[in-house]
Structure 1
Amino acid sequence: MNWLTEHHYTARSVLHRVPVLFSFGDYAKAHGANELMQLSDHVEPFVQDWIRRHGRGRSASRRSRFAHEVRNPICQMLHLAIDGYDGPGRPHKPDNPFERQAPQFLMYLVEEKGLRPRTILQYRFHLHQFAAYLERTGIGLRAVSPTVISGFITEYGPRVAWTTLRNACGTLRVFLRYLYREGVLSKDLSSLVEFPQSYRHAGIPRSISWDQVEKVLASVDRRSPCGKRDYAMLLLLSTYGLRACEVAALTLDDIDWRNERFRIRERKAGNTTTYPLSAVVGAAIIDYLENGRPVTTDREVFMRMAAPLAPIGHAAVVSRAAHFIRKASINVPRAGSHVLRHSCVQRLLNAHFSLKHIGDYVGHRNISSTQIYGKLAIEQLRYVAQGDGEDVL
């Protein structure tokens, strides 16, 4: 009860959860559970028994949702009461699927290569894909050969975007080089991993016009606490071209109200950027802090609106941006927060800012990341197309 109250669960939610927990306790005790560790064995039988007694006449989809509503408070309680309890969902994958052959690989990525936690997550994902391929083909890690590497890339490539395949190849190169260094492999096979062919500036940024950005902002209902939060986040994305993770990581300590500026710490390029706080963005943040943000001791600016109370994650920022882009009836490939980031860059480009200044503004590590936006400089390209050929040369 105290935990539910502290994490801002509503009285209605508490009244639903507590009777379920009492019923589960009685059921588990009646079926022989005498210790906490034995409770997890009775979760699914209790859920099925509850559905049989209370779920008659419901459709299959409604019964599935009903089962989740019963299972969720039980698993939440067991997670708090039992250390290491993961719940009845998908089996927990080990951080390193090659723990037995290369137990220190993830530590190597952190201590020697200095990679960030989010990058480590990408390495883990691609390692699991490679481990799954080896398991399907019945090949051990020590038996990895150029043919095996080629087979993995050939099978994995058609299922993912070329950028994902490129990252997987990079992960594989680092991993194979590490295995050779540690003596797991007798030869260094890293050079045999070929990156997928790509053409510089082949893609087009997912930007929308500024009129469309304003349409997205206008689609937010700013009367609700959730709307106040989302409006402030969308303004940060579109005005400063911030990444979703940078918006989610913004803290109250990062905003200097006296000097009307704020800072973004630990950017992808490894630097910290200080921005002037515009009046519109500042007013939106103040409106959210005063009239929408839940009371909490957390220092992050943007919080979840549904219990349990916690800072919002970067995936939620992406999701909310995508929601309002679709709500505004704007068609764009892969709607999300990066669409607004690209739109910010395009607006600066249309205002004739140099690529160097634009790259510094949005936190690009390399000027080549900014050069692709040159294809969106419509007026400049029209001038080149209509101008004297000799002048162009």
Structure 2
Amino acid sequence: MKFIIHDQVVLLREPEGPLAAHLTSFANAISVQGYNVWSLKRSVRIAAYFSRWLKQRGVGVQDICSDHATRYLRYCARHFRPRSDDRAALRNLIDFLREEGVIPPEQMATIRISEAERCVQEYEEYLRDIRALARVTIIHYVPFVREFLKHRFGDGKITLSKLNAADVVRFVQVQAPRLHLKEAKLMTTVLRSFLRYVRYRGDITLDLAAAVPVVANWSMPSIPRGISADQTRKLLASVDRRTAVGRRDYAILLVLARLGLRSSEVVFLELDDIDWDAGQLSVRTKGGQRIELPLPADVGKALAAYLQHGRPKSASRRVFLRARAHITGLRGPSSLGSVVRRALQRAGIDAPTTGAHQFRHGLATQMLNHGASLSEISEVLGHRHPQTTMIYTRVDIKALRALALPWPGGAR
């Protein structure tokens, strides 16, 4: 006798066990997440097998936890070869049960975090709530703070009041030689930020941020490497806009090229950020501020084509979504970087870099070449400090050398 769980899932035997009553709602939940029919059927059947296994061991619904899923997979491994995606399917099931309140909160595993991790979490909250820094910036800051606390306190008690200048200097001396210049400079920036935070908390009274050594650097940074206008046109023309993924990638590349947004700004764009009537795009910048940018006609057309004929159905408010289940927003700037890298490879373009930032540099260079002022470029790019925009005014000596007129009379 067959038992219909979902309009696309039929079981050959009646479901049993503590999860039998929840299989239909589980099927409905993962169906709206964009999983294909095969994955939907597989997930529900694994849930049914897991429920039967729980019944055989006398486990009630109130007692289910993640550890039972782990033990079930071990059981499967002893009797037959499990599929590689079984673990993910069970993880989705456990998450669903928790979200629905089937598994009570007290049954969820309690994770004891260390003092260092608690300190890091409090610093994260400070950066997010007080400094209003972008999520991607916070992600880059946290590992350095975690490493600093480990270097100073090890696994022992975290006593921030005991920090002194020697601790700061020693940490930089140990870490800096292991890092690339850009990473080392970021580390010192993070360290100053953290030490200002510790002083803000009242744990220290001295300005230890001033004790952070300066990493050696050149005074004239190299000119940013931007993708050329011709390469951008060739790249955009190479995208296959007949497919849903192609429409998404084309819209992403066009937003990068025309508006010069950072990867994080594109990734975290939401549907409500697009004002179709006013022809504007509201962007949350690196510093957490909102800026309004005009929406060029070609960018608006590309976004509309993707939203109408390429964007999967999803409860997410993000503009750009993953193309495969689990259908959610792109996970971060690295996901957008992958879109750019694959597009460049398909088009056979030898661009200055494989990252998304080259479009930002390319736009600034084109604006400068067409007579835009530094303040105009700064406004478009969302720079908080004029010095950041000044790097685009540096002279490319190599390019000028090729244009130099020969010395009268030739070489001697």
TM-score band (shorter)? 0.7 to 0.9
The whole-number CA distance in structure 2 between the counterparts of 1:329 and 1:356 is 35
The whole-number CA distance in structure 1 between the counterparts of 2:381 and 2:115 is 34
Residues 216 and 324 of structure 1 are in contact (CA less than 8 Å); yes or no, is this contact kept in structure 2? yes
Q: Of 261, 267, 270, which residue of structure 2 is paired with 1:248?
A: 267
The whole-number CA distance in structure 2 between the counterparts of 1:252 and 1:111 is 23
Aligned to 2:33: 7
Q: 1:254 to 1:113 in 2, by over 3 A?
A: closer
Question: Secondary structure of 1:353's match?
Answer: coil
Q: CA RMSD in A?
A: 3.7
Residues 245 and 313 of structure 1 are in contact (CA less than 8 Å); yes or no, is this contact kept in structure 2? no
Tell me by how many angstroms 1:241 deviates.
Answer: 1.0
TM-score (norm 1): 0.80
Task: Spell out the pairing of 1:154-233 with structure 2 (5 A cutoff).
Answer: 154-180=173-199, 182=201, 184-185=203-204, 187-233=206-252
Q: 1:360 to 1:387 in 2, by over 3 A?
A: farther
Q: 1:332-372: per-residue Cα shift (whole Å, max 9, x none)?
A: 56522112222222222333333332222222222222222
Alignment pair present for 1:289 and 2:315: no
Residue identity matched to 1:288:
Y
The whole-number CA distance in structure 2 between the counterparts of 1:214 and 1:82 is 49
Question: Secondary structure of 2:253's match?
Answer: helix
Tell me by how many angstroms 1:118 deviates.
Answer: 4.1
Residues 32 and 314 of structure 2 are in contact (CA less than 8 Å); yes or no, is this contact kept in structure 1? no
Could you tell me the percent identity over the aligned residues? 28
Q: Of 76, 87, 94, which residue of structure 2 is paired with 1:78?
A: 94
Q: Of 28, 38, 46, which residue of structure 1 is paired with 2:72?
A: 46
Residue identity matched to 1:310:
T
Tell me by how many angstroms 1:226 deviates.
Answer: 0.9
Task: Spell out the pairing of 1:30-69 with structure 2 (5 A cutoff).
Answer: 30-55=56-81, 66-67=83-84, 69=85
Q: 1:39 to 1:345 in 2, by over 3 A?
A: same
Consecutive unaligned residues of structure 2, counting only runs of 5 or more, are 1-26, 100-104, 408-412
Aligned to 2:49: 23
Residues 199 and 207 of structure 2 are in contact (CA less than 8 Å); yes or no, is this contact kept in structure 1? yes
Tell me by how many angstroms 1:123 deviates.
Answer: 3.5
Residues 106 and 120 of structure 1 are in contact (CA less than 8 Å); yes or no, is this contact kept in structure 2? yes
Q: 1:106 to 1:226 in 2, by over 3 A?
A: closer
The whole-number CA distance in structure 2 between the counterparts of 1:329 and 1:94 is 48
Tell me by how many angstroms 1:192 deviates.
Answer: 1.3
Residue identity matched to 2:92:
Q
Residues 251 and 299 of structure 1 are in contact (CA less than 8 Å); yes or no, is this contact kept in structure 2? yes
Residues 293 and 380 of structure 2 are in contact (CA less than 8 Å); yes or no, is this contact kept in structure 1? no
Residues 246 and 264 of structure 1 are in contact (CA less than 8 Å); yes or no, is this contact kept in structure 2? no
Aligned to 1:320: 339
Tell me by how many angstroms 1:19 deviates.
Answer: 1.4
Question: Secondary structure of 1:97's match?
Answer: helix
Question: Secondary structure of 2:194's match?
Answer: helix
The whole-number CA distance in structure 1 between the counterparts of 2:180 and 2:398 is 31
Tell me by how many angstroms 1:258 deviates.
Answer: 4.4
Q: 1:140-175: per-residue Cα shift (whole Å, max 9, x none)?
A: 545444333223212322333333332322332233
Residues 136 and 264 of structure 2 are in contact (CA less than 8 Å); yes or no, is this contact kept in structure 1? no
The whole-number CA distance in structure 2 between the counterparts of 1:331 and 1:95 is 47
Residue identity matched to 1:282:
G
How many residues are matched?
Answer: 373
Consecutive unaligned residues of structure 1, counting only runs of 5 or more, are 56-62, 389-393
Residue identity matched to 1:338:
H
Tell me by how many angstroms 1:236 deviates.
Answer: 0.8
The whole-number CA distance in structure 2 between the counterparts of 1:352 and 1:382 is 22
Residue identity matched to 2:71:
P
Aligned to 1:58: none
The whole-number CA distance in structure 1 between the counterparts of 2:191 and 2:112 is 19
Aligned to 1:97: 116
Which region of structure 1 is more displaced relative to structure 2, 329-338 or 284-293?
329-338
Residues 227 and 362 of structure 2 are in contact (CA less than 8 Å); yes or no, is this contact kept in structure 1? yes
Question: Secondary structure of 1:197's match?
Answer: coil
Tell me by how many angstroms 1:291 deviates.
Answer: 1.5
TM-score (norm 2): 0.76
